Amino acid sequence: MPLIAIVIVLALIVILVLGLYNSIISAKNKVSEAWSGIDIQLKRRTDLIPNLVETVKGYAKHEKDVLEDVTKARASLMQAKGPQDSAVANDQLTKTLKSLFAVAENYPQLKASDNFLDLQHQLGDTEDRIAYSRQYYNSSVLNFNTKIKTFPTVLLAGIFGFKEAEFFKATEEEKEDIKVSF
């Protein structure tokens, strides 16, 4: 009888450990899936850039530096590895796109171009998708990090070497107040 009790207790412990381990793996996979969502939207954004640059080139031939900066920032984003590198490269691309749209303000024909307006709309839509993907990713990271830091899963996380995932952070520029004047 005592042998059966010991076997039952051991079986319950094994089942508990497997359940906890699987919950950590599930949370880690959710982080990977959420990162994939950001990556897809960043790729979509970089795919729109060449069309935008070509459209602006036709109107603003002497704005070569701005166009080159956008192209370089796009290349940096495409080569970025991981959340932190991607966040930095994404911020750089955002800055250069702001410069590009500022240049476009000087060209009324460009601003009225259907192609430019469509690309501008698609970029705006993509920015919204990136923001949603970042929010979903950070929520998944929070869930995973909480799971590996709380008892009893913290015991297994340490044994199996699970490390905290990085958040996709906003830059200092993105945190600044927006000044609106009429």
Letter for the amino acid at 38?
Answer: I
Mean pLDDT value across residues 143-148: 96
Cβ atoms 29, 69 nearer than 8 A = no
Average pLDDT, the chain: 84
Task: Please give the biggest Cα pair distance in the chain.
Answer: 90
Predicted pLDDT of residue 177: 47
Of residues 107 and 72, more confidence is placed in 72
Letter for the amino acid at 109?
Answer: Q
User: Class assignment of domain 2-169?
Assistant: mainly alpha
Task: For Cα atoms 134, 161, 147, give the angle at the middle one, nearest 5 degrees.
Answer: 50
Residue range 11-60, pLDDT digits in tens: 999 999 999 999 999 999 999 999 999 989 988 888 888 888 888 877 76
